[in-house]
Structures are given as C-alpha cells and as structure tokens.
Amino acid sequence: MYRTLLILCSFSCLPFGQVAADNTGKRTTEEIERGRSREFNNFYRQDSPHRRMPSRSKFPNWENDLKFEEDVFTFVRIQYDSYGSFGWWSRWDNDFPDSDWNFSFRLQELTSMQVAPESKVLRLTDPELNQYPFAYMTGVGKIVLSQEEQEAMRSYLLNGGFIMMDDFWSQDSWERVLLEMHGVFPDLEPIELSIDHPIFHNVYDLKELPQVIDIRTWREGDLYEHRHGYSGGDEDPHFWAYFDNKGRMMALLCHNNDLGDGWEREGENQEYFLRFSEKQSYPMGINIITYALTH
C-alpha cells in the first residue's frame, strides 16, 4: 500500500468565493437504473444526461512539479450501489464533483501537500484503489455492498488503506452502515471518538465535535437533516472508528454530518462559508487526511 508522510501548515482563514459550485438537475428512475451499471473513472461524466456537470474551467487548477508526479496525493471517491424507496439509485456521487475539486484545491493551497488537481472515482473492487492510501464515501445511509466488495474493502483497509464515510443521518442509516461494515469486519466493533482524540487536533485544534449540515437545511433554518430519516432523538454528531489489531485507525464514520457539503457549497453563500466551510468542513477534512497519512 502506497503511503506518504506529510508536513502540513494551516492558515487562519480562507478566501470566500474563490471556488465555484453548481449541482442541479434530478434523476429519473430510468436514468438511475442505467447509471447503476456504469463505471466512472474520471470526473467528466459526459455520458450522464440526468445531471448537468459543472465546467472544470470554473474551478481552480494547478500543475505540480514533474519530479513529484509519483508522490502527489490524489483524492479518491468510492462508487457503490445503494437502495432507496423506489429501488436502486445513486448516492455515491452526492456533492460530486464540486466537493472533490474544491477540497483538492484547499489541500494544495493550505498544506504542504502536492495534490493532484484531478481526482478519481473507483469501485472497491478496482485493483487501482490499492495505489491510494485514502478513499472517501458519502451518502452511505442506503449503501449495499456485495460480498466481493466487502472482501475488497477489508483487504484495502487491512493493507494500509483508510476510508472516510460521510453524510449519513438517522437511526436507520446508522444501522444500515453497521450492517455493511459487519460484513467487512465480522469480529470488529466501531469505537466512538471523543473530542480529546488527536484526529481533532493534529493540524486544526477543534474545540468541539464539528457538525455540518447541507446548505438547503441551513437555509430552511434547521440544524439537522431530518429528510434522511428519524433521528431517534439523537441529533448530535458522532465519529466512529474501526481499528486494526495494532491500533491503527482504518476507517472513520462521520454520522449526523455532511462535511462534504461544506466543501461543495463554499462559494455559494458567505455566511454558510464562514460558519461551516471555514470553521468545520475544511479543518476536519484536513485533520482526517493528515491523521490517515501519518498513522
């Protein structure tokens, strides 16, 4: 498993509005079913008529020194299947590709990492995944993994990989994720992290557990994404980790959180940016990747 140690530096503030965002359009059932079988190997999903993709030219771009070509950090998103009330649907691409582009840029801008401007989308079963030490999964509340995918995830994590799961809310979503993770690690249970864990302090010193809601929920005046399902009376953020037998964190499950929306929507509203993107989404995201690559 490829792994790199990185030295990071944080800046006290981020410039608002530098990164654009756009995410419009709705899927029809027929389009969703067609999309289920597709393999997306890059961000240019020109074969996806159900969703208007933003122009890459509207996002910051950069070039890395060629001598670091084999040592850059690449943001990898996992494509997976999920099951909704009307059958198979797509949730793996929530906030995509805006959040991936924006977050990659902020990593390049705010840290000493050399970051690839073009990120990747891979299935858990793709052998190429083993070239990358970090992978991101979002909208996992209805996730369905095959036995082959569960075995591939187990192998990836036990061989040094790290997976961050984001944007799943409600009691039912938590139980769904636990069920799938039990298939990955039948003998392991997740451990909840408290605010004193180093992952909350290694670059940005967070004083409380971050909780980010999507911009729609915030505009509606709520602080919890209730449309994902019943909270069970628990609307607090939770960070659950899976550790291997040597104590290395392999996966982090960010329950009752939508860190990716803070990356995606950073250029849409200054108040949302200052409250969520600058203070929570980017600091926590950078902390997670730093911890994953240095432990």
Q: What confidence tens digit (pLDDT) does each residue in 69-99 have?
A: 778 999 999 999 998 654 455 589 989 999 9
Q: The tokens of 200 are what?
A: 């909350």
pLDDT digits (tens, 9 = 90+) for 185-232: 999 999 999 999 999 999 999 999 999 999 999 999 999 999 888 999
Q: How far apart are CA 247 and CA 95, in angstroms?
A: 32
Find where tokens 């240019």 sit. 44
pLDDT of residue 15: 66
CA atoms of 228 and 172, how far apart (whole Å):
9
Global pTM value: 0.84
Q: What is the pLDDT of residues 271-285, one digit of tens each?
A: 999 999 999 999 999
Task: Classify strands 134-138 and 162-168 as parallel, antiparallel or unpaired.
Answer: parallel
CA-closest candidate to residue 128, choices 63, 51, 41: 41
DSSP state at residue 200: G
CA distance 159 to 282: 27
Higher pLDDT, 284 or 20: 284
SS3 content of the chain, % helix, strand, coil (to 5): 35, 15, 50
What are the chain's domains? Answer: 53-294 (3.40.50.12140)
Please name the residue that has the structure tokens 């108040």.
271
d(CA 162, CA 157): 6
